[in-house]
Amino acid sequence: FFCFPEMHGISFRIQISVKELLDTDVLLKLLFHLPINYPSALPGISVNSDQLTRAQCMDVREKLLEQAKKHLSEPMVHDLILWVQQHLKDVIKQSAAVCSEKTTLSKGTEDGIQMLLLHLDHMRAKAKYVKTVEKWASDLRLTGRLMFMGKIILILLQGDRSSIKEYLILQKTSKVDVDSSGKKCKEKMMRVLCETEVQSQHKRFQTFEVKEYSAPEELQKEFETAGLTTLFSEFVPPLLR
């Protein structure tokens, strides 16, 4: 059990051992992020296990979030841990069946669709910078969000692998901002937080939008709505400290 107090809530990890299908122990590593207004707001949940596939871990996380919604406004972490200990076997069985069905019916529907999460340190020439990012996203047929929350600037993109690569080249080599003396300059303070393939449980963004959020909870909700709670809990809380 590890606990990390934060400005915007508390994160803690719990490891539990569960008897699985063949009576072998599965070690589950659960990461919970409790926002300040928990339990009125859902916790962020991340699930990892060396004995399960990434898809199975995501399925367990989705089921835990479904259970969390049933316990909204009441302390729920203990109940969620008990629930996963009792139902892991069922979730894994169901996950295997769904996976088999998807492979048969719609193999590779998301093949090649990538997702990219970028963090920018600042935008001095904000209006020009935003227009440039919007144009690149449009030209490359990328969807997603340019997100502002306080001093935090994130760019979340979805699209073809080649388009994502092209975007990264443009972002690194074009003079998109101005320096402290007002001269045009390249982006030198960009960090790639995550680059991964879009999974079936991720919602595909239909458009590219620029959005501003007044609180971390609003930003978290944007990620949750898109099925990206794990992405949020892994990469965003450290930026809020």
d(C-alpha 113, C-alpha 106), whole Å: 15
pLDDT at 106: 37
Beta strands in 138-233 (DSSP E): 143-149, 152-160, 175-178, 184-186, 190-197, 208-213
Q: What CATH code is assigned to 10-97?
A: 3.10.110.10
Specify the 3-state DSSP secondary structure of 195: strand
- pLDDT band of 116, cuts 50, 70, 90: very high
Long-range CB contacts for residues 104-108, cutoff 8 Å, separation at least 24: none
pLDDT at 79 over 70: yes
Q: What CATH code is assigned to 113-239?
A: 3.30.70.100
Q: In which order are the strands placed within the sheet that holds 44-48?
A: 2-6, 9-19, 25-34, 44-48
pTM of the model: 0.55
> What's the whole-number mean pLDDT along residues 176-198?
87
Residues 6 or more apart whose CB falls under 8 angstroms from that of 201 comprise 58, 59, 62, 227
- pLDDT band of 21, cuts 50, 70, 90: low
- pLDDT band of 178, cuts 50, 70, 90: confident
Residue with tokens 């979340």: 156
Mean confidence (pLDDT) of the chain: 84
Q: Write the burial class of residue 61 (CB in 10 Å: 0-12 exposed, 13-18 middle, 19+ buried).
A: buried
Q: Report domain extents, the chain.
A: 10-97, 113-239
Q: Would you tell me the crossing angle of helices 126-139 and 161-173 to the nearest 10 degrees? A: 150
CA-based nearest residue to 144, from 194, 102, 188: 194
Within 13 Å of residue 29, how many CA atoms lie on the same side as its CB?
A: 7
> What's the whole-number mean pLDDT along residues 166-190?
87
